[in-house]
Amino acid sequence: MTHQAEITDVTHRSLASSLFNHTWTLLDKKNRTPEDEIEMMHCAHASRYHWSIVGTPLNFAHEGLARALVTKNPQEALKHITQAKTVGQRIEKDEDRDWLHQNLDDIKKSLDG
C-alpha cells in the first residue's frame, strides 16, 4: 500500500473554503432532497477537518456543522453551537465575532422551535 503525497496548507485551505461554500449553497437550496442533506453534512465535516489542519479557528466550521445538523441531529447541532461560541471568543475583529454569534443565535432559535 502506498501513501499519498502530503497535502499542502494551500490545498487544505482551498478545500476547506470550497467545502464550506458548497455547504452554504446546499443550505440555501429550496426543497433539499435527503441526498442533499447527507451531502451537506459530509461537506460541513470535511470543511471542519481541513480548517483544523491549516490552523484557522474552528468557529465558522462549527457554525456550518451546527447549521447542517439542525434538522437531522439537533443535539449534535447544539454541541457545535457551544463549541463555536467557545472558539469564537478568540475572534479579534468585532464585526466577525458579532456575525458569528448572531448566526449561532439564529441557529439556536431554530432548534428551540
- What is the pLDDT confidence band of residue 4, given thresholds at 50, 70 and 90? low
- For the chain, what is the total number of helices (H) and then of strands (E)? 5, 0
Q: Is position 4 within any domain? A: no
Residue 2 lies in a domain: no
For every residue of 42-75, DSSP letters joined together read: HHHHHHHHHHHHHT--SHHHHHHHHHHHTTT-HH
Number of domains in the chain: 1
Q: Which residues, including other chains, have CB under 8 Å from residue 79's CB and lie 6 or more apart?
A: none
CA–CA distances in Å: residue 93 to residues 59, 96, 113: 13, 5, 31
The answer as to whether 1 is a domain residue is no
Q: Residue 30 has what DSSP assignment?
A: T
Residue 3 lies in a domain: no
84 occurs within a structural domain: yes
Per-residue cell: 48: 471542519
Average pLDDT taken over every residue of the chain: 82
Question: What is the reported pTM?
Answer: 0.58
- Cα–Cα dist 36/87, whole Å: 28
* Residue 40 is assigned to a structural domain of this protein: yes
Query: Which residues form the domain of 83?
Result: 9-112
Looking at residue 22, its pLDDT comes to 93
Residue 19 domain flag: yes
Is 102 within a domain? yes
| Per-residue pLDDT tens digits for 36-69 | 999 999 998 898 888 777 755 566 677 777 887 8
